[in-house]
């Protein structure tokens, strides 16, 4: 079963704390330099805070126990978090465009940026550390919410590096137009990240199959049991809902088998699949192998 929300919430709270710290540092960096590039970085950190708060709520909802109206639970709530975060990222990019475009035509001198760059570098270090923690936790606990939040922070790290380089180049070369150009590049990168998160969210909400790696492992297991026990399989269907993975299939057994024998084999098989596919919810339909009707029962809308 998926890890409870209590264990995962501490990572979401870590993300909230990191967002507050980086917003403070990046806003100070913008204030002391008047750099639109650093302003763009601070605006993205506002999105990070909103995403972290949303992730905290969605983690709690996703791990809520099933009820009579939602018998399969609420694990898909994590996809809403990723989708809404993607939309917020795109909105932040629009704000960056609005700030940077006027500076293309009317470049603005920057105040001495050394303090601003130092503040921005400190914020970037915080984001990098938290991003690594969140991505590892997301993979370990199979949480798309934590992984998406971590990857978003990692993207923020790279965009911060871009802004850092842009402001430093302005300081070294005097080419003021580099500041808005870097800001626009940051905005384009943010849009790419936002669209990617929304696509991933939509894919999950549309019941995409589990990964090809897991499907291959299940197929190997089916071939093993076919050779060992003379059974066969069809109508394998899978879907993923947040940390949960749902697997259904038909197990066709020899006609002479008792119900008990077929059930014991299905229990053994399901146990092995759960060991291969984390957080798998199994449903097996047992049919007689020589009955023609068994082979007319494979369509989704049979």
Give pLDDT tens digits for 220-277: 999 999 999 999 999 999 998 877 889 999 999 999 999 999 999 999 999 999 999 9
CATH number for the domain spanning 38: value is 1.20.1510.10
Q: Which residues of 55-68 are buried (b: 16+ CB within 10 A; e: fewer)?
A: bbebbbbbbeeeee
Could you tell me the residue range of the domain that residue 152 belongs to? 5-205
**Domain shared by 109 and 240, yes or no:** no
Q: How confident is the model at residue 108 (pLDDT cuts 50, 70, 90)?
A: low
Q: Are 261 and 229 in contact (CB under 8 A)?
A: no
**Domain shared by 93 and 25, yes or no:** yes
Give yes or no for residue 90 having a pLDDT over 50.
yes
Task: Report helix, strand or coil for 206.
Answer: coil
Least confident of 147-161, 199-213, 276-290: 147-161
Tally of domains within the chain: 2
**Domain shared by 34 and 13, yes or no:** yes
**Domain shared by 52 and 103, yes or no:** yes
Domain boundary among 150, 171, 205: 205
pLDDT at 113: 59
Tokens representing 294 are 């068994």
Percentage with pLDDT > 70 across the chain:
90
Q: Please give the order of strands across the beta sheet that includes 280-288.
A: 232-241, 244-253, 280-288
Give yes or no for residue 214 having a pLDDT over 90.
yes
**Domain shared by 159 and 200, yes or no:** yes
**Domain shared by 123 and 222, yes or no:** no
Q: Are 185 and 162 in contact (CB under 8 A)?
A: yes
Tokens representing 90 are 């795109």
Domain boundary among 179, 205, 231: 205
The answer to whether residue 22 is domain-embedded is yes
Query: What separation, in Å, do the N-terminal and C-terminal C-alpha atoms of the chain show?
Result: 30
**Domain shared by 158 and 282, yes or no:** no
**Domain shared by 99 and 173, yes or no:** yes
What does the pLDDT look like over 31-86, one tens digit per residue? 777 766 667 667 767 777 877 888 888 888 887 888 888 887 888 888 887 788 77
The answer to whether residue 130 is domain-embedded is yes
CATH number for the domain spanning 262: value is 3.30.70.1350
The answer to whether residue 302 is domain-embedded is no
**Domain shared by 146 and 12, yes or no:** yes
**Domain shared by 153 and 193, yes or no:** yes
């Amino acid at each position: 079963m998926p890890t409870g929300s209590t264990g995962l919430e501490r990572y979401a709270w870590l993300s909230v704390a990191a967002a507050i710290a980086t917003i403070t540092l990046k806003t100070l960096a913008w204030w002391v330099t008047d750099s639109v590039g650093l302003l763009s970085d601070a605006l993205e950190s506002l999105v990070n805070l909103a995403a972290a708060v949303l992730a905290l709520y969605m983690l709690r909802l996703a791990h809520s126990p099933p009820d009579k109206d939602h018998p399969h639970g609420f694990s898909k709530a994590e996809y809403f978090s990723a989708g809404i975060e993607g939309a917020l990222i795109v909105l932040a990019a629009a704000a960056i465009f609005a700030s940077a475009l006027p500076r293309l035509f009317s470049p603005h001198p920057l105040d001495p940026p050394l303090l601003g760059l130092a503040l921005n570098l400190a914020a970037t270090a915080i984001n990098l550390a938290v991003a690594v923690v969140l991505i590892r936790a997301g993979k370990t606990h199979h949480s798309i919410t934590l992984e998406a939040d971590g990857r978003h922070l990692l993207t923020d790290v790279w965009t911060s590096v871009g802004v850092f380089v842009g402001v430093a180049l302005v300081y070294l070369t005097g080419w003021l137009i580099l500041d808005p150009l870097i800001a626009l590049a940051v905005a384009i990168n943010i849009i790419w990240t936002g669209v990617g998160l929304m696509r991933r969210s939509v894919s999950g909400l549309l019941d995409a199959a589990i990964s090809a790696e897991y499907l291959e492992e299940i197929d190997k297991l089916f071939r093993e049991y076919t050779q060992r026990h003379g059974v066969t399989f069809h109508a394998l269907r899978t879907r993923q809902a947040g940390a949960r993975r749902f697997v259904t299939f038909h197990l066709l057994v020899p006609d002479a088998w008792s119900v008990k024998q077929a059930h014991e084999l299905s229990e053994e098989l399901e146990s092995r699949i759960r060991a291969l596919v984390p957080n798998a919810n199994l449903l097996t339909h047992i049919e007689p192998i020589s009955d023609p009707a068994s082979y007319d029962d494979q369509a989704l809308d049979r």
